[in-house]
Amino acid sequence: AGTSGGGGGGGWFLLRPREPYFVLLRITEHAQLPNGDLAVNVMAGPRVSVVEEASEDLSVGASRLTWVNKYELCTDEDFGDDLPKPYQSLDEMRSHCLNLLMDATSIDNILSISGPPLDPEAFSFFALRFVTADHDVGKKWKWLAYRSTSHRLLYVIDLLESFRESKRMKEEGILDSSYGDSVEEISDLEDEEKVQAVDTKNK
Q: Kindly state whether residues 111 and 169 are assigned to the same domain.
A: yes
Q: Kindly state whether residues 27 and 56 are assigned to the same domain.
A: yes
Report pLDDT for 90. 92
Report pLDDT for 9. 52
Q: Kindly state whether residues 105 and 69 are assigned to the same domain.
A: no
Alpha helices in the chain (DSSP H): 90-104, 107-111, 120-128, 137-145, 149-171
78: in domain: no
Q: Kindly state whether residues 186 and 122 are assigned to the same domain.
A: yes
80: in domain: no
Q: What is the mean pLDDT of each run of 10 residues along the chain (203 residues)?
A: 50 67 78 86 78 72 68 77 84 94 87 88 90 81 83 92 84 59 36 36 38
Report pLDDT for 64. 67
129: in domain: yes
Number of domains present in the structure of the chain: 2
Q: Kindly state whether residues 116 and 174 are assigned to the same domain.
A: yes
Domain that includes residue 181, residue range: 90-202
Burial label for 120, CB within 10 Å (0-12, 13-18, 19+), is buried
Report pLDDT for 118. 94
Q: Kindly state whether residues 111 and 197 are assigned to the same domain.
A: yes
83: in domain: no
- Cα 146 from Cα 33, distance rounded (Å): 35
159: in domain: yes
Q: Which of 11, 46, 73 is the last residue of a domain?
A: 73
Q: Kindly state whether residues 118 and 36 are assigned to the same domain.
A: no
Report pLDDT for 135. 81
Report pLDDT for 116. 92
Q: Kindly state whether residues 108 and 185 are assigned to the same domain.
A: yes
Q: Kindly state whether residues 94 and 62 are assigned to the same domain.
A: no
Q: Kindly state whether residues 60 and 107 are assigned to the same domain.
A: no
Report pLDDT for 197. 39
DSSP string of 49-71?
Answer: EEEEEEEEE-SSTT-EEEEEEEE
79: in domain: no
Q: Kindly state whether residues 105 and 173 are assigned to the same domain.
A: yes
Q: Kindly state whether residues 190 and 99 are assigned to the same domain.
A: yes
85: in domain: no
Report pLDDT for 179. 44
Which amino acid is present at 29?
Answer: E
